[in-house]
């Protein structure tokens, strides 16, 4: 993965600003400083906020935690080049959202249809653990992204932090929407928030999240959106 990620380095100056992310954002001093240090260690890595990827008119928006060191932080595309993307993209392909079951580099031909992937925190955090204040600092970008979701659409939160970030972005109170794997929460205008354990290496290796459990969540989303199951 390290060699593949190095090939996918992106020149920072070529990245535009967007309502859903800002390539030059340095709101979080800890994260910005950490990215500066990582850029020295891995000069070919992107080491900037990672923008959403996928269909702008998608009815499914997937919210992850944050970019991984040798994954999205290197490639510039969510869940691309790291272990967590293996199960995610395999599943997206099986359900007709992704053109390929593999996503290794940002310049591969993979495309998403009716689906968009974003993160609760757009920058790589030390130890893959963003602080609550960092999630809040980044939340207006997620708010802008979720504001594009059409009536009847679905949000899939991968893990509790993504769940909490989505609720904050939607202006909803956490105590009214408890996180639980395979939970479904009704939202306004026919939309729904679905929860899943994160498809991280730890969760899949320990069996906390299996491929069958993940597909059960996608079955529920397919039923909500009126799409075929895998």
Looking at residue 32, which CATH number applies to its domain? 3.40.470.10
Average pLDDT over residues 135-143: 96
Residue 17 binned pLDDT confidence (cut-offs 50, 70, 90): low
Residue 196 belongs to some domain of the structure: yes
In a domain, 70, yes or no: yes
pLDDT-derived band at 96, boundaries 50, 70, 90:
very high
In a domain, 128, yes or no: yes
Contact status, residue 116 vs residue 60, Cβ threshold 8 Å: yes
Mean pLDDT of the chain: 92
> Once rounded to an integer, what is the mean pLDDT over residues 139-163?
96
Does 7 have pLDDT greater than 50? no
Question: How many domains is the chain built from?
Answer: 1
Q: Is residue 213 part of a domain?
A: yes
Tokens coding 40: 């020295």
pLDDT at 115 over 90: yes
| Percent of the chain at pLDDT exceeding 70 | 93
Once rounded to an integer, what is the mean pLDDT over residues 101-114? Answer: 93
Domain presence at residue 98: yes
d(CA 124, CA 35): 7
Average pLDDT on 123-147 reads: 96
Does residue 5 fall inside a structural domain? no
Backbone angles phi, psi at 217, to 5 degrees: -65, -45
| Assigned domain for 210 exists | yes
Whether pTM exceeds 0.75: yes
In a domain, residue 99? The reply is: yes
Show the domain range for 54. 20-225
Q: Is 90 exceeded by the pLDDT of residue 14?
A: no
pLDDT band at 21 (very low <50, low <70, confident <90, very high): confident
């Amino acid at each position: 993965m390290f060699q593949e990620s190095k090939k996918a380095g992106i020149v920072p100056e070529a990245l535009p600003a967007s309502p859903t992310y800002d390539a030059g954002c340095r709101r979080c001093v800890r994260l910005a400083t950490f990215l500066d240090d990582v850029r020295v260690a891995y000069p070919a890595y992107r080491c900037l906020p990672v923008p959403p990827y996928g269909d702008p008119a998608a009815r499914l928006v997937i919210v992850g935690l944050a970019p991984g060191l040798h994954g999205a932080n290197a490639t510039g595309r969510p869940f691309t080049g790291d272990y967590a993307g293996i199960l995610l993209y395999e599943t997206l392909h099986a359900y007709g959202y992704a053109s390929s079951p593999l996503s290794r580099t940002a310049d591969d031909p993979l495309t998403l249809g009716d689906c968009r992937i974003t993160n609760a925190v757009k920058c790589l955090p030390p130890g893959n653990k963003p602080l609550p204040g960092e999630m809040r600092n980044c939340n207006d970008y997620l708010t802008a992204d979720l504001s594009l979701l059409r009536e009847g659409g679905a949000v899939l939160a991968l893990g509790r932090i993504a769940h909490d970030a989505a609720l904050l972005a939607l202006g909803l109170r956490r105590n009214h929407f408890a996180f639980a794997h395979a939970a479904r929460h009704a939202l306004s205008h026919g939309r729904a928030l679905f929860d899943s354990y994160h498809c991280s290496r730890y969760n899949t290796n320990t069996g906390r999240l299996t491929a069958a459990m993940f597909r059960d969540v996608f079955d529920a989303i397919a039923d909500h959106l009126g799409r075929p199951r895998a």
